[in-house]
Amino acid sequence: MTVAPSISELDVRALWHPLTQHKPLADSPPPLIVRGEGCYLEDAQGNRFLDAMAGLFCVNIGYGRRELAETAAAQMTELAYLTPTMTHPPGAQLAAKILDLLGWRGRVYFSSSGSEANEVAFKIARQYHLQSGKSGGANRYKIIARHRAYHGNTLGAMSATGQAERKIGYGPMAPGFIHVPPPYPYRAHPKLSAAEHGLACAQAIEETIVYEGSETVAALLMEPIISGGGVLVPPDEYLPRVREICDEYGVLLIFDEVVSGVGRTGRLFGHQLWEVQPDIITMAKGLSSGYMPLAATAVQEYIFDAFMGEAGDLRHFRHVNTFGGHPVSTAVGLRNLEIVEDEGVVENARDVGAYALEQLKGLTSHPWVGETRGRGLLLGVELVEDKETKAPLDDAEVLAVLARCKQAGVILGRNGNTVPGLGNILIIAPPLVATKTEIDLLIEALVFALGER
C-alpha cells in the first residue's frame, strides 16, 4: 500500500519559499497553516498564532471574512474575466471610489501587485515628461528613491529599492535610479534636532536634483513612512519641504503607499498625516485586504491630460497586464473598502495603534530596546546591543527574539535582508481590526521574548 505524502513532505520536496534559506527547513519545516480567523492563524495541530504582521502588511480587515468570499463567488459566476481594454462594473466603480477617497480628479490604472503598480508609475512619469510639452521634458528619465526603502521585486522596482541585500547577485540594475538617505531621527547626527535632520535630508534631495541636472530627473519616489525597511517615520518638516523641492524643479512626486495605503498608519492614506499631496500614488496590499491580488496607480488629472491625443498617435499609455483590473479582484476591493468605511477600520487603527505605541514605550527600559516608533498600526522596535553606541543587536539574537515570540503565539516581522548589519528592527503590523486584547497579547509575548538581561 502506498501512503500519500504529507503536506510537509510535499513542501520540502517541491516548494521554493521567498526570502528563505531552505537548508534548515529539513529539520524545522515552515508551519503548516490551515485556517485564519480575525487576527489569528491556526496550524494543522490546532495551535493559534496572533498574526502581528497581517500576512505581509495586507490582511487589514482580518481573516475569514465571508462577505469577501461571497463577493468573489458572485463575481466569478457573473463575469470571471474581461480584457482590460473593455469595462465592467466593479472596475469602473472601484476606480471612481479610489479617486473619491483621495479627493482627486484623476485616473486609476490597475495592476496585480505593488511592484507592477510602481513600474506603472515610473513609465507614466517618464512618458508624461516626454509629452508634457514642458522645457527639457524629453530628457527627464531619472528616478530618485531612498536608501532603506523596498519598492518591489521586478527589475525597475528592485532598482528603485534602497536595500543592498535584495540586489546582491541580480545586477546590473536598471539604469536611471539614484538613492538618497531617508530621515532616520534615531541615528541622526546628535547635534541636529529632528526638524533640522529632516530638512537636511530634504536638502540632500535638492542637491541630488541639482547635481544630476534637474531637467534629467523625472520623479522622486518614496513611502511616506518607510515600512518594511524598518519603520522610519520622518520629522514633520520633511514631506512639506520635499513637495516644495519637487515643485521648484518640475519633478513628479510619487508616493508608494503599497503598505501605508488604506488605513495602516491610522489615516486612510499615509500622506494625509502630513497633508502633502503626491502627483502619483501607488497602492496594493490593503486595497483588497490581501483577499485577491490587486494594485492601483492613481494619477492627478494634469498627468493624464498629457496622454490625450488622436487614435494611432502613440501618446496613449502603451502598457497592459492580463490580470490588471480583474473583475473578481476589483469586486473584492470595492467590498473591502465598504467594510473599511462601515466598520471604522481606519479609526480603529489610529486608536489601537496609539495604545500599542504607548505600551511599547513601556519596553524602552529593557537594555535592548533602543527605540519604539510608528504611526497607527505600523510600528517598529529597534533592538540594540548598547544604547550608548546604538550598535545594532546581533542578527542571531534578533532571530531568537522572533522565535520566542512565535513560541509565545505571536508572529512578528523584522526588516530582514535589507541593509547589511541593520536587520535589527522588529516590525509590528497586525490586521487593522486588532483590539487592545491583541496588543496586550503582543506586549506579553515581547516581554517574554526579550527576557531579563
Ligand X SMILES: Cc1ncc(COP(=O)(O)O)c(C=O)c1O
In angstroms, give the least distance from the CB of 358 to ligand X: 26
- Alpha carbon distance 179, 177 (integer Å): 7
In angstroms, give the least distance from the CB of 261 to ligand X: 9
Burial of 133 (0-12, 13-18, 19+ CB in 10 A): exposed
Burial of 412 (0-12, 13-18, 19+ CB in 10 A): buried
In the block, cell 508624461 appears at 128
In angstroms, give the least distance from the CB of 244 to ligand X: 24
In angstroms, give the least distance from the CB of 181 to ligand X: 17
Torsion of CA 395, 424, 439, 57, to 10 degrees: -100
- Alpha carbon distance 152, 321 (integer Å): 17
Q: Are strands 142-146 and 177-180 parallel, antiparallel or unpaired?
A: parallel
- Alpha carbon distance 311, 334 (integer Å): 31
| Of 206 and 223, CB closest to ligand X | 223
Cβ distance 55 to 290 under 8 Å? yes
| Of 223 and 237, CB closest to ligand X | 223
| Of 55 and 137, CB closest to ligand X | 55
Q: Which residue is nearest to ligand X (CB)?
A: 114
Judged by DSSP in three states, 377 sits in coil
In angstroms, give the least distance from the CB of 262 to ligand X: 13
| Of 111 and 208, CB closest to ligand X | 111
Enumerate binding residues for ligand X (CB under 6 A): 56, 113-115, 118, 150-153, 223, 227-228, 256, 258-259, 284
In angstroms, give the least distance from the CB of 284 to ligand X: 5
In the block, cell 520623479 appears at 219
Burial of 154 (0-12, 13-18, 19+ CB in 10 A): middle
Cβ distance 289 to 336 under 8 Å? yes
- Alpha carbon distance 79, 76 (integer Å): 5
In angstroms, give the least distance from the CB of 286 to ligand X: 11
| Of 151 and 368, CB closest to ligand X | 151
| Of 258 and 299, CB closest to ligand X | 258
Cell of 159: 532598482
| Of 18 and 312, CB closest to ligand X | 18
In angstroms, give the least distance from the CB of 9 to ligand X: 28
Cell of 376: 497607527
CA dihedral (380, 383, 387, 391) positive or negative? negative
| Of 250 and 266, CB closest to ligand X | 266
In angstroms, give the least distance from the CB of 303 to ligand X: 20
| Of 259 and 384, CB closest to ligand X | 259
Question: H or E segment at 371?
Answer: strand 369-375
| Of 261 and 353, CB closest to ligand X | 261
Distance of CA 340 to the CA centre of its chain: 18
- Alpha carbon distance 358, 112 (integer Å): 36
In angstroms, give the least distance from the CB of 258 to ligand X: 4
Cβ distance 176 to 212 under 8 Å? no
Q: Taking the CA atoms of the chain, what radius of gyration do you get in angstroms?
A: 22
